[in-house]
Amino acid sequence: MFLAFDLALWHESIHAVGPGISTLLNSLQIFFLSAIGVFFFNERLSGLKKAGLISAVAGVAMIAGAEFGYNGNAVWGFVSGLVSGLMLALSMVFVRKTHEIEPVALFPSMMILSLGGAVSLVVPALLMDGGALYPTTWKDAGLVLVYGVVMQCFAWAMVAYAIPLLSLSLTGLLLLSEPVAALFIDYFGLGKPIDGVQWAGVVLTLSAIYLGSRKQQS
């Protein structure tokens, strides 16, 4: 369920502010993971993570400033992007806890996640997008199929495989490559306007995510 709402809200954010910024916001899940560790697993928030959190807030503020000036959907884009990060963090925690209780085969677990996610989104989909539930052309249907099978099921199967083998922080760090690629595609491929202040905010936010993903050295 959490993964389904993560993807749904992430797509809402993509429509509102573009894939680059939305993916960057989604990648802030590392700080939600840190908060979950502090409040529910009695972990301590290291100095690196504190510095990363402060830098992330500053970076997102720099990115948001210009976006709010010309994009009427910016508020919803930022809110949905951040909440999608929370949903992603929760899904990663539950996948990890499931494997701690008992090793689960990869493909059956992904099938259960996908089916459960699809069922959990039936009511929101009917209420919010009831008139556009299905693709209207064969081309659209093919693109949706490729996106679902290759870019979601296959990619998330690899993530689910990696989560039990790595720490949550390292998993979040490896996923940092996603917003970097999305930002370059957004700017160079889709013509998204990103000014100098926003690029500085992007660099600051990516650096913050890196700091938040590192372990405190003893």
Whether 129 is covered by a domain: the verdict is no
pLDDT of residue 78: 92
Residue 93 is encoded by which pair of tokens?
């925690």
Whether 127 is covered by a domain: the verdict is no
Q: What is the pLDDT of residues 68-88, one digit of tens each?
A: 888 888 899 999 999 998 988
| Band (169; pLDDT cuts 50, 70, 90) | low
Whether 135 is covered by a domain: the verdict is no
From the list 40, 64, 120, the residue with the least C-alpha distance to 32 is: 40
Rounded to whole angstroms, the Cα distance separating 24 from 81 reads 8
Lowest mean pLDDT among 27-36, 126-135, 179-188, 203-212: 126-135
Whether 32 is covered by a domain: the verdict is yes
Whether 148 is covered by a domain: the verdict is no
Whether 119 is covered by a domain: the verdict is no
Domain count, the chain: 1
Q: What is the pLDDT of residues 199-211, one digit of tens each?
A: 888 888 888 877 7
**Identity (one letter) of the amino acid at 97?**
K
Tell me which residue range forms the domain holding 54. 2-102+167-213
Whole-model pTM: value is 0.73
* Cβ–Cβ under 8 Å, residues 66 and 198: yes
Whether 114 is covered by a domain: the verdict is no
Whether 7 is covered by a domain: the verdict is yes
pLDDT of residue 38: 77
